[in-house]
Amino acid sequence: MAAVDAQRHAGAHGHGKHRFRATSGNGFSWHAIREQFAWWQIAIFVIGVISLVTVLSALFFAVGDRPTTITTDGPVPAVESIEFATALSALVNAPIDRGGTVTVLNTGDEFLPSLLGSIRSAKKSINFSVYIWSDGEMADQLLPALLAAQRRGVEVRILLDGFGAKDISDKAFDPLKEAGARVSKFRTPKLGQLTRFHRRNHRRAIVIDGDVGFTGGMAVADHWLGHAQDPKHWRDMMFKVTGPLAKDLQAGFADTWVSSSGEVLVGADLYPASATSAPGVERFIHLSNSPADDHEAMEYFFLLPVLAARESIWLATPYFIPDAHLSHALQAKAKAGVDVRLLVPGPENDNKLERASSHRRYDDLLSAGIKIYEYQPTFMHGKAAIIDGAWSIIGSPNLNFRSRQLDQENAIGILDRPLASQLRQGFLADVKQSKAIDLKEFRRRSPFERMFEWIAGILDQQS
């Protein structure tokens, strides 16, 4: 092929004119590049490429020396045994506690009135942390109630996520600040900290007077209003907890609060001693985690109960992207005769990429005997696990990579058969509005769908 010569002026060193050669068939030659650019220009370019690849790898690809398999040193005790609770407590480094009540709040029609009532009854403190806070009707009801509480002497603290609160102006909180409330943001984008910005505070921890708390899947946005009556209003759950459960929930607020605001919460009003003697649930473990590459406590918080299951494993989650350990454990339990059921969103999903990545796993799960139900009326954002009709897990985590490896989360594992029974009833009610996935029908999906699932699987470690 004929070479195309082009004259170029010399760079900063002023060596006069020189030529570089590009062949129409093979692109630029290395010799031509060396003639065209000074050595230091090439060095800067190479360093820049290496730096870009390093940053992208740190942001978007998993690192760490994780075991390929997880085994136990013997049979896992049943979830109702103290031996199980002791093992789980040691595994995730969270204490065993008892007492306190749990009330299930289905949809915004139950959650918002209960929350507003507790805010209006507050006497000493309101600590409020959720992931999403958007402008709208829900915020318009909450902000005046919080302002009124602050003006009557209640200490109000609001922790916003630097990304999750992007849809509401900072000015919306100015009246609260002027009245003396403290408002802080978790991880706003700052130079020198950009590689941490994608690791969000996904916790739900609302605690009032240290004795009443709320956790679950909801936050502050209008799709959490109503009763899941249409696709614009989501199906979700929150849980009102009291006594020791609420006191422990304070941990889900306190550590992220100090890292964002600089204020350490130590007052007795926030941790009432009287709560420790309250009657209620037989046993619970509250986990507030900050994932690290080699310590993923939230993964083990779900995995050990699955390994302990004798009769049933029912999971409801909006984003189901299990790692290999959980996926294999669920399949093994189903093959051993355990009743394994999965309730996830259907077509009304706010993240098509996550749904496609979840679909990529369906064939193996269904083949093992796991029953999968996709909720149809609207987006199903509820999060709950019920093991053997006795041990329940509630809180903020999804069963995906972000909750295991990236985001701040909080969850409560609770031994209480009445709570588990109520959650099972809600699960069955949702199943009636869901489509059971048939393996033969699922395998008839189009090549385009399969290709999209494959692409989603490559990207799902940020999901």
Extents of the domains making up the chain:
3-60, 82-462
Q: Per the structure block, which two tokens stand in for 211? A: 């004795």
| CB-based contact 327:361 (threshold 8 Å) | yes
Q: Residue 283 is inside which H or E element, if any?
A: strand 283-289
Q: Per the structure block, which two tokens stand in for 5? A: 């010569």
pTM for the model stands at 0.84
Query: What is the per-residue pLDDT for 129?
Result: 97
Could you tell me which of 314, 245, 258, 331 has the C-alpha nearest to residue 285?
A: 245
Distance CA 44, CA 337 (A): 61
Q: Residue 384 is inside which H or E element, if any?
A: strand 384-387
For domain 82-462, give the CATH number: 3.30.870.10
Burial 432-452 (b: 16+ CB within 10 A, else e): eebeebeeeeeeeeeeeeeeb
For residue 260, how many C-alpha atoms fall within 13 Å in the half-sphere facing its CB?
22
Query: What is the per-residue pLDDT for 87?
Result: 97
What residue type is assigned to position 150 of the chain? Answer: Q
Distance CA 203, CA 286 (A): 12
Distance CA 130, CA 186 (A): 11
Can you name the residues that pair with 7 across neighbouring β-strands?
19
**pLDDT digits (tens), the chain, 463 positions:** 444 444 444 444 444 444 434 444 444 466 666 677 777 777 788 888 887 776 666 555 554 556 788 889 899 999 999 999 999 999 999 999 999 999 999 999 999 999 999 999 999 999 999 999 999 999 999 999 999 999 999 999 999 999 999 999 999 999 999 999 999 999 776 655 545 556 788 999 999 999 999 999 999 999 999 999 999 999 999 999 999 999 999 999 999 999 899 999 998 888 887 655 568 999 999 999 887 656 789 999 999 999 999 999 999 999 999 999 999 999 999 999 999 999 999 999 988 888 999 999 999 999 999 999 999 999 999 999 999 999 999 999 999 988 888 889 999 999 999 999 999 999 999 999 999 999 999 999 999 899 988 888 877 765 5
Residue listed under structure tokens 């999403």? 132
Q: What 3-state DSSP class applies to 457? A: helix
Distance CA 56, CA 49 (A): 11
Q: Per the structure block, which two tokens stand in for 371? A: 């029953």
Distance CA 397, CA 403 (A): 5
Which residues make Cβ contacts (< 8 Å) with residue 225, sequence separation at least 6? 108, 109, 112, 137, 138, 233
The H-assigned helical ranges of 270-372 are 297-308, 324-335, 352-359, 362-367
Q: Residue 215 is inside which H or E element, if any?
A: strand 212-216
For residue 263, how many C-alpha atoms fall within 13 Å in the half-sphere facing its CB?
16
Query: What is the per-residue pLDDT for 197?
Result: 53
Distance CA 309, CA 313 (A): 7
In angstroms, how far is CA 136 from the centroid of its own chain? Answer: 23
Query: What is the per-residue pLDDT for 3?
Result: 43
Query: What is the per-residue pLDDT for 42?
Result: 74
Could you tell me which of 109, 97, 114, 94 has the C-alpha nearest to residue 212?
A: 114
Q: Per the structure block, which two tokens stand in for 225? A: 């209003």
Instruction: Write the burial class of residue 185 (CB in 10 Å: 0-12 exposed, 13-18 middle, 19+ buried).
Output: middle
Q: Per the structure block, which two tokens stand in for 288? A: 């507030």
Residue 124: C-alpha distances to residues 152, 177, 241, 246, 447 (Å):
10, 17, 18, 15, 59
